[in-house]
Amino acid sequence: MIAIIDYEAGNLTSVARALRHIGVACQITKQHDEIRASERVIFPGVGAAGEAMEIIRREGLDGMIREIIAQGKPFLGICLGAQIILGESEEDGGIPCLGIIPGTAKRFQGTDIKIPHMGWNDISITRPHPLLEGVDTRAQFYFVHSYYPAPEKREDIIAMTDYGVSFASIIGHDNVIATQFHLEKSGRHGLQILKNFCGWNGRV
């Protein structure tokens, strides 16, 4: 069973729908015992980092997330989920986040690009990872975001994408991996990564 962590953010049902599409059982939950009992965990989300962190703390999910990650459970962040696993976000003048991977979620800058970064873009893989097996280098993925992950350590970057700047579009460390793009909205290549996650043992 896969637990999709419910912190009242936007696209929980679309992730569940994508999992159903590939025949994988999941539940959307904020119950600690259910998250603890699950085989693997998905941490999705769209919306604002501040509100998300508020709900995460209120529900005691911050400690919960640290606990299951320390246990080695495979953990997948998507979109906002890839930002709030970092140390902080630049949203609203600075929001302290979960600090699972050292780094900051930064806002896109510049007058020559449209914000949000919306649409299908390339990724260039900087480090091989079991989740990217069978994913063609020509595949594009669907992005919608105004902030991007900037991890402190180079070794935490798995793929980069260009949009005004070159930013980390997949980050990961041990059993944690997170994509800035929406796996659940990226057609068959997104589903391939989701499938790979469902069979991943958390080791790289």
Partner 1 sequence: MLSKRIIICLDVREGKTTKGIKFKENIDIGDPVAMAAEYYEQGVDELVFYDITASSDKRNIIIDVVESVAKEILIPFSVGGGIRSLDDMHRVLAAGAEKISINTAAVEDPDLIYKGARAFGNQCIVLGIDAKRVGETPATPSGYEVYIHGGRTPMGIDAIEWAKRGQDLGAGEICLNSIDADGTNAGYELTLTALVSEAVSIPVIASGGAGEPRHLYDVFKKSNADAALIASMVHYQRYTVAQIKEYLSQKDIPVRTFI
Inter-residue contact 170 to 127 (CB < 8 Å): no
- Residue 173 CB-half CA count within 13 A: 16
160 part of the interface to partner 1, by CB under 8 A:
no
Cis bond upstream, residue 74 (ω within 30): no
- Assess contact for 184 and 17: CB atoms under 8 A: yes
User: E-assigned strands of 30-184?
Assistant: 40-43, 75-78, 86-89, 95-96, 101-107, 117-122, 124-125, 140-145, 147-151, 157-163, 165-173, 176-179
Q: Is 102 in the site for partner 1 (CB under 8 A)?
A: no
Site for partner 1 in 57-76 (CB under 8 A): none
| Interaction of residue 10 with partner 1, rule CB under 8 A | yes
Q: Least Å distance between CB 66 and partner 1?
A: 27
For partner 1, the binding residue among 33, 109, 111, 203 (CB under 8 A) is 111
198 is catalytic: no
Residue of 163, 181, 197, 200 that binds partner 1 (CB under 8 A):
163
Active site residue 32: no
3-state secondary structure of 8: coil
Residues engaged in binding partner 1 (CB under 8 A): 10-11, 13-14, 17-18, 20-21, 46-48, 111, 114-122, 136, 138-140, 142, 144-146, 162-163, 182, 184-188, 190-191
Residues with catalytic roles: 79, 182, 184
